[in-house]
Structure 1
Amino acid sequence: MSKLPRVVVTDLIPEPLECERRVLNGHADVIALDIKHQAELDGQLDNADAVMIYHYLRLGREQIERLRQCKVIVRPGVGYDNIDIVAARERGIPVCNVPDYGTEEVADSALGMALTLARGTHFLNSRLRRGVGAWNVDQATPIQRLRGRVFGLVGCGRIGAAAALRAKAFGFDVVIYDPPLRDGVEKTLGVRRVDSLEALLRQSHILSLHCPLTPQTRNMIGAAELALLPAGAIIVNTARGGVVDTDAVVASLANGHLTGAGIDVLEQEPPPEDSPVLRAWRDPAHPAHDRLLLNPHTAFYCEQGCDEFRTKGALEVLRALQGRPLRNQVS
């Protein structure tokens, strides 16, 4: 009896692996490492025939060069910035993702954060819960009507386009910035398009990030860029933490230039206990506290979506093990 290929799920998804085994039973042995820290990854993948990696760990050159028989690396999610795709390409190992599973959920989360910040809901809930201020709207003013306000999007792929359509439904004037985007998408969506980040920033009352983390987008939004936003603007990041300088966001909230920030993703996850964003989020005395929404990289999640990305990731592994064409190869 021949030995089945070994498929290793590195992080996020522990046993039981129902979705993965539903697809791969009889074709591969599936193992969940459930690793929480990068150092624990050493030596765990050397004999893997396929690797499924999520967002808590990084698969760098050192680990990839130790893969002896790996047929594919699958990131069962959209972003793959935690995989050294150059090293994988040099080893002839294809890298695949699941680009469509969380489109609705991330767009919904981005709009949910934006709306609760723009309407003063989060601010008042945070203040009044602990007995600060009068039981009325006064301390949250000025609150502007949403219709006609500019909702700016950096990135207009699947998720960005879904967010644009949702923002249009609330009456926002939607403006997009996405240099690689093919011409005409803005006409299909019925939105405006600008050719520079500065042009987007100077008019965006709400700025929502929907771009991948690449060398071009890393640290795209820092203190200087935040200063270009209109006074009282709101920023929402459901993309990748490295796109935005979160410390600069906290400082801008504290000095009053930004009136709200919804942060789903951080440069380091989970963040260190002494990080400025955690201090602001936990300390009611911090001037940014009541205007900061923080989530632990959960904008993507719903029960149905979880089943979808796990199943689609496993199907991509199966295609690789069987030598069939891959569906979502990024490198």
Structure 2
Amino acid sequence: MTSPRFKVVITDLITEPLEYERSVLDGVADVVALQAMSESELQGKVEDADAVMVYHYFRFTDATIKRLERCRVIVRPGVGYDGVDIEAARLQGIPVCNVPDYGTEEVADSAVSMAISLARGSHFLNSRLKRGVGDWNVDQAAPLWRLRGRRFGIIGCGRIGTAAALRAKSFGMDVAFYDPYLPDGIDKALGVERFDRLEELLSASHILSLHCPLTAETRGMIGGPQIREMPWGSILVNTSRGGVVDTAAVIAALGEGHLAGAAIDVLEQEPPEPDSPVLAAWRDPTHPAHDRLLLNPHTAFYCEEGCAEFRTKGAQEVLRGLLGEPLRNCVNAPVNTRR
């Protein structure tokens, strides 16, 4: 039996058994999972890889990419690719690809469901009554407003933002979005409103949900000044990337009551430091933000079907890269691609 021609390295997150990856790459490549928790642990283990699959425990930087002797493709089996230095890979002639569609439904479901839980007072009352605070009625959560006619604002109306828009519309909310990179007419196709200026969307949104990638342009896009432009008593939901939102500013706005609620699935650092202000507020029942904060450990994407999908599609993109076939989702247009 002929040995596989290629070596594929999975840097982090995924562990044995590698049934999805091997079902795609069987007979073509040996697949190895390193289970690394830092980039330094890759030293001496990735240099001879023909393809690398990178997840999100650390940043895959220029220092490592320059040591890749024969890599034909780097695949990020997920939507966001800010954890890979795509420019460094481009200069080395290595295409970087992602899997942009696998978690569309799950992230949209998570964003809208958390927004509804906060807007209807469900999370607030559950949090307080569980520890015996307040009377057994709705008074301490008042005022609560009918969802129909409230504006659900979206930043970034791509695949996930569109899915969130359709879900919010089904609750009767007036949906609007800000996305300067979409062509004209998307708003008409979806039956929603489009804002050309971010400030206009912020000031008009009772619920704001972020669905944009983390780039130099979007890093720190929502901080204290932007939150203050939102209506008093509004709700912020972030299932995009942690670096897009200043979470310390979110906690401050919750504490002073400017935000009535916040749902945060992603943080600037994951996992957060023990002294993180968002962890302090989330864990301390005496903190004024405590009952109004929903915090998840970057899990909005997750479902069993989705895991099978991103692992399989990631391996399929690796296979195309190894065999020199056209790539489906290249994000960096490399110069002088390796063959």
1:2, CA displacement in angstroms? 5.2
Q: Distance in 1 between matches of 2:77 and 2:195?
A: 32
| Stretches of structure 2 lacking an aligned partner (at least 5 in a row) | 333-339
Q: Which amino acid aligns with 1:74?
A: V
1:3, CA displacement in angstroms? 5.4
1:308 lines up with 2:321 in the alignment: no
1:46, CA displacement in angstroms? 1.1
Cα deviation code 1:207-262 (max 9, x no counterpart): 00000001110000000000000000000000000000011101110111001000
1:5, CA displacement in angstroms? 1.1
Deviates more, 1:262-271 or 1:47-56: 47-56
Q: Distance in 2 between matches of 1:41 and 1:223?
A: 38
Q: Distance in 1 between matches of 2:219 and 2:252?
A: 19
What's the secondary structure of 2:251's corresponding residue?
A: helix
Q: Distance in 2 between matches of 1:124 and 1:282?
A: 16
Q: Which amino acid aligns with 2:50?
A: D
What's the secondary structure of 2:182's corresponding residue?
A: coil
Match of 1:255 in 2: 256
1:273, CA displacement in angstroms? 0.5
Q: Distance in 2 between matches of 1:75 and 1:10?
A: 10
Match of 1:299 in 2: 300
Q: Distance in 2 between matches of 1:254 and 1:39?
A: 39
Instruction: Check the 8 A contact 2:4/2:28 in 1, yes or no.
Output: no
Match of 2:144 in 1: 143
1:39, CA displacement in angstroms? 3.1
Match of 2:52 in 1: 51
1:61-100 correspondence to structure 2 within 5 Å: 61-100=62-101
Match of 2:337 in 1: none
Q: Which amino acid aligns with 1:322?
A: L
Q: Distance in 2 between matches of 1:121 and 1:39?
A: 44
Which has the bigger relative contact order, CA under 8 A and spacing at least 6? 2
Q: Distance in 2 between matches of 1:170 and 1:107?
A: 14
Q: Distance in 1 between matches of 2:43 and 2:124?
A: 44
1:1-331 correspondence to structure 2 within 5 Å: 1=2, 4-331=5-332
Instruction: Check the 8 A contact 2:195/2:201 in 1, yes or no.
Output: yes
What's the secondary structure of 1:66's corresponding residue?
A: coil
Q: Distance in 2 between matches of 1:97 and 1:259?
A: 35
Q: Distance in 2 between matches of 1:259 and 1:41?
A: 44
Q: Distance in 2 between matches of 1:38 and 1:128?
A: 44
What's the secondary structure of 1:274's corresponding residue?
A: coil
The two structures, once aligned, show a CA RMSD in angstroms of 0.9
Q: Distance in 1 between matches of 2:230 and 2:125?
A: 23
When the two structures are superposed, what TM-score results if normalisation uses the length of structure 1? Answer: 0.99
Cα deviation code 1:93-149 (max 9, x no counterpart): 000000110000000000011000000000000000000000000000110000000
Q: Which amino acid aligns with 1:276?
A: P
Q: Distance in 1 between matches of 2:330 and 2:92?
A: 15
Match of 2:336 in 1: none
Number of aligned residues: 331
Cα deviation code 1:274-307 (max 9, x no counterpart): 0000111111111100000000100001000110
Q: Distance in 2 between matches of 1:38 and 1:52?
A: 13
1:42, CA displacement in angstroms? 3.0
**Deviation >4 Å, runs of 4+:** none
Q: Percent identity?
A: 69
Q: Distance in 2 between matches of 1:18 and 1:112?
A: 32
